[in-house]
Amino acid sequence: MNPAKPLDRQCYVSIVHLPCSRIGPGDHKITEGQARILTIKPRDRKDRIIVSEKLDGSNVGVANLGGKILALGRSGYLAQSSPYEHHQLFAAWVRENEDRFGFLKDGERLCGEWLALAHGTRYELKHEPFVAFDIMRGEERAIFEEFSGRVGAAGICVPTVLFTGQGESFAVEDAMKKLGEFGFHGAIDAVEGAVWRVEREGEVDFLGKYVRGDKVGGVYLPELSGSTPIWNWRP
């Protein structure tokens, strides 16, 4: 095992886009049939649709491996080994909050968005800079009820839920209308979009995301903007 990459895998795989979403290089789209299930009409009453606000930061994770709580970047490397300051800050934040992740079982990881550094959206954060969106076991996702219950009990922030429906879908237009211009997490630039998931018979079937068409990814990152970093949060 590579000690710098203790998972020997990616921490999180990118969520695939809805066909109407803005995509970037290397991004992929779900099928029209899958998009229809999420946004127009489910297959039947067994489909449960959950839609949440999409946040714009750095994808990170917290893993329990052999009883050790580890802060990870999206690729699965230790956050503390990253050359980027915002990842170093995440590693330090996880160390300071280690007791809060005691609910993770050995082999589980909590994936989320680290909002300390502005990427393509600036925030006046109304909460701590880590927002969790999935509990993972290998490639398997915990269903939303389990995820929200366990994370909520630990007092960890999650994205605002816009819709839940058993046998009901939720249109992109309705999601964006409910989000309004700035969403629910303190954005001071236009909200990025939303994430759909469908659960069926006690399992997560698939996910899809929508990013608005005029979104410019990473516009505030120093390596792209040539300007100084913009911090949403810094200790």
**pLDDT tens, 190-226?**
999 999 999 999 999 999 999 999 998 899 999 878 8
How many whole angstroms separate alpha carbon 18 and alpha carbon 51? 13
Structure tokens at 135: 């509990």
Return the C-alpha torsion angle 96, 125, 131, 6, nearest 10: -50
Per-residue model confidence (pLDDT) at position 130: 98
Pair 211, 54: CB distance under 8 Å: yes
pLDDT at 8 (0 to 100): 85
Fold of 32-223: D-amino Acid Aminotransferase; Chain A, domain 1 (3.30.470)
- Spell out the domain ranges in the chain: 32-223
For 45, residues 6+ apart whose C-beta sits below 8 A from its C-beta are 166, 167
pLDDT of 1 above 70 = no
The answer to whether 146 touches 135, Cβ cutoff 8 Å, is: yes
Which pLDDT belongs to residue 225? 81
Mean pLDDT score of the chain: 96
Report the pLDDT value the prediction gives residue 24, as an integer from 0 to 100. 83
Q: How far apart are CA 71 and CA 24, in angstroms?
A: 27
Nearest to 203 by CA among 152, 105, 137: 137
pLDDT value for 65: 96
The pLDDT value given to residue 226: 84
The answer to whether residues 6 and 63 touch, using CB atoms and an 8 Å cutoff, is yes
118: closest CA among 60, 74, 56, 184? 56
Q: Check whether 137 has a pLDDT greater than 80.
A: yes
User: 13-57: per-residue pLDDT in tens?
Assistant: 999 999 999 998 888 999 999 999 999 999 999 999 999 999 999
* Helix, strand and coil in the chain, % to nearest 5: 20, 30, 50
Calculate mean pLDDT across residues 96-123: 98
Nearest to 179 by CA among 212, 152, 206: 212
Which H or E run contains 174? helix 172-179
> Looking at residue 223, what is its pLDDT?
87
